[in-house]
Amino acid sequence: MKDLFSKHRVSLLIGLTITALFGAFLWFKFHPLAALEDNLLDYRFKLRGKLTPPQEVAIAVIDEKSIERLGRWPWSRDKLAKLVDVLNKAGAAVIVFDIILSESEANDPLLGRAINEAGNVILPVAFDFEKKAAPLSPDYLTASSFHSVGNSEMFEKFAPLTAERVLVPVSTLADKAMVLGHINMIPDDDGTLRWELLVIGYDGFLYPAATLQAAAAFLGVPGEKVTLEATRGVKLGKRFLPTDRWGRMLVNYYGPSYTFPHLSIVDILDGKVNQKDLEGRVILVGATAIGIYDLRVTPLAAAMPGVEKHASVIASILENRFLKAAPPSVDLAIALGAGLIFSLIIVFLKVRQAALFTACYLLLILGGGYLLFRHWGLWVNLAVPALNGLSVFIATNVYSFIVEERNARRVKAMFSSYVTERVVNELIRNPSLAKLGGERREITVLFSDVRGFTSFSEKHPPEEVVAILNEYLGKMTEIVFRWEGTLDKFIGDAIMAFWGAPLQQDDHGIRGVKCALEMVDTLKKLQGEWRAQGKPVLDCGIGLNCGWVLVGNIGAEGKKMDYTIIGDEVNLGARLESLTRKYDAHILLSENLVTKIAPQVNSCEFGHVVITGLERVAVKGKEKPVTIYEIKSSEAGAPSVITPCSDETVVVLKEK
């Protein structure tokens, strides 16, 4: 585990660094990520779909049909007075105007009388935030401010939005209204309206939204029981409305336009609206006719009348159905925790596994965030943990690709001269198969040498020697590669090869022996061609041994290194090759190797061969005598035979 952790520590460091960076982005509200999170919130609204609105909220609309009958907007105040009278007689619980009546008109007394008789009319005010000289607040406005403010010292750090001017209804009407409330709507930077300003500061007072005033009136909560808790929310009797630090409440949109009942004002005045559709309800009076109403971009609609937003806010208060943004500390904890766990796991996965894990991670983050929003009304930041995971996946895999590409070039450069291209590709796909630091392996080693090469080279021109030697070595190398052996080196005219490394080959003994037999058969064909061409004829001897050796990179690190094998078993293989001259044999095998391949020879899986025990010899450097065997190909169809050595006499050899 320690080696595994060490191998991936850079990838883990990359993941943790990216996670920390995204944590900083979240904490300091990096704008692009904040904008992305806002869009993800909008998608949560779309996925949730339309909610069933409460029956207690309806909208009396100034629509095209009403304008066609009652004339172009603005109407004379006597028409609005008649509307208030009809709504009052029908038993409307609260009447909320979404129309600023800031200019005097001849019929104001009529409307004032109707408002006074109804006793449940809320008129709007609109605050202006531009820096201008502000008049003092009229008494009838200050009477509608918050009566009770808790935790007010927090406003020194998180002051609510403060206005410079205010547009109020004419006093003739405002004096008769039950209460006033603001209808200001400030969208986010992308133009989408997501927040309700439950409180706005002006001239030293704090003023509630008209929606809050309407809900309080409907619920029968007096003004003194409506308490603003700074940075936390608003207490409305037994209800608590959660806000952010600046007194803003997330708007829980019930749906797109026409989610709430739209009652045409002309139909109300003509008595075409059933009394039950008005009785006991909060009736919002607002415009929907094209050209006279304020269009708002919301998460569920690109153009929604502002009065629809008011309806959603009032409905959510009446139903205690609020949305709440998770505190920044919670969002940060989720982002860092998810990033840490993701980084710890993904660095140990391969690319396909990492891609699948990343997809599952994103599904868990996004799906979990949606479920929290849908069922518990909790808005947690999803953009940061999702993008963090995606970035860690990309960065760690890019790093792994760079490292693997570098290692692949290293492996290819190291082994391309030793083994076949197939073996090189396998090593590149699975670098762990070649433990480059050195390890013990059981292998089969082959030594092949040209007999009498020294005298041959002395009797022939160098060009001819090189040409025929290259032809011979080229053919022999092809055979070694065909049997997927590792070509260790050329030692002058000698060849050293082995099987069992760098790839694990359980049949290394069989591969080595079959390679030697094919080398001899091929040499016989070459000899025939050389004789026919009048060229000198070369012959060779081959020695093979099987045993445990040390295999790996050996040499001066950073200067010259070779992938090779060392050990007594290697030396024995070399000595067997030298003994081929003494016994006039092409191929000599060690006792270890014969024992290794005996099951395949006896079961006729090996081919048609005859293996004959020659002598027991004590070679230089080996304390224990070894039996040497000669192997030859036999005729097709003939059984394979292993004849043990009959002479127990030990021959002591002093030559190398």
Classified as helix, coil or strand, 304 is: strand
Rounded to an integer, the average pLDDT of 217-238 is 94
Amino acid 136: pLDDT: 62
How far is it, in rounded angstroms, from Cα 183 to Cα 285?
A: 13
CB proximity list for 150: less than 8 A, separation 6 or greater? 227, 228, 229, 230, 235
Token digits of residue 518: 């094919």
Instruction: Centre a 10 Å sphere on the Cβ of residue 559 and count the other Cβ atoms it contains.
Output: 6
Q: Which residue has the higher pLDDT, 220 or 9?
A: 220
Share of the chain above pLDDT 90, in %: 63
**pLDDT at residue 202 above 90?**
yes
Amino acid 519: pLDDT: 94
Q: Does the pTM exceed 0.85?
A: no
Residues shown for the chain? 656
CA dihedral 95, 96, 98, 102 (to 10 degrees): 90
Write out the H or E segment, with its range, that includes residue 491: strand 486-491
Instruction: Grade residue 640 by pLDDT with cuts at 50, 70 and 90.
Output: confident
Instruction: Grade residue 4 by pLDDT with cuts at 50, 70 and 90.
Output: very low
How far is it, in rounded angstroms, from Cα 551 to Cα 89?
A: 101
How far is it, in rounded angstroms, from Cα 508 to Cα 501?
A: 9
Amino acid 551: pLDDT: 82
Amino acid 159: pLDDT: 87
Q: Which residue has the higher pLDDT, 312 or 463?
A: 312
Instruction: Grade residue 537 by pLDDT with cuts at 50, 70 and 90.
Output: confident
Amino acid 462: pLDDT: 81
Rounded to an integer, the average pLDDT of 529-537 is 87
Q: Are 85 and 117 spatial neighbours (Cβ–Cβ below 8 Å)? A: yes
Q: Are 393 and 358 spatial neighbours (Cβ–Cβ below 8 Å)? A: yes
> 86-129, pLDDT tens digit by residue?
999 999 999 999 999 999 999 999 999 999 999 999 999 999 98
If you write DSSP's letter for every residue of 161-230 in order, what string do you get? PB-SEEE---HHHHTTSSEEEE------TTSB--EEE-EEEETTEEEEBHHHHHHHHHHT--GGGEEEET
> 644-656, pLDDT tens digit by residue?
887 676 776 665 4
Instruction: Grade residue 232 by pLDDT with cuts at 50, 70 and 90.
Output: very high
Phi (first) and psi of residue 539, to 5 degrees = -135, 165
The closest alpha carbon to 125, from 110, 143, 113, belongs to 143
Amino acid 559: pLDDT: 57
CB proximity list for 237: less than 8 A, separation 6 or greater? 216, 219, 221, 225, 226
The terminus-to-terminus CA distance of the chain in angstroms comes to 46
> 398-416, pLDDT tens digit by residue?
887 777 666 666 655 555 5
**pLDDT at residue 2 above 50?**
no
Amino acid 208: pLDDT: 97
Instruction: Centre a 10 Å sphere on the Cβ of residue 71 and count the other Cβ atoms it contains.
Output: 11
> 59-72, pLDDT tens digit by residue?
999 999 999 999 99
**pLDDT at residue 436 above 60?**
no
The closest alpha carbon to 647, from 618, 610, 614, belongs to 614
Q: Are 449 and 551 spatial neighbours (Cβ–Cβ below 8 Å)? A: no
Token digits of residue 185: 């709507």
Instruction: Grade residue 1 by pLDDT with cuts at 50, 70 and 90.
Output: very low
> 359-383, pLDDT tens digit by residue?
999 999 999 999 999 999 999 999 9
Amino acid 416: pLDDT: 53
How far is it, in rounded angstroms, from Cα 447 to Cα 449?
A: 7
How far is it, in rounded angstroms, from Cα 44 to Cα 29?
A: 21
Amino acid 304: pLDDT: 92
Amino acid 49: pLDDT: 93
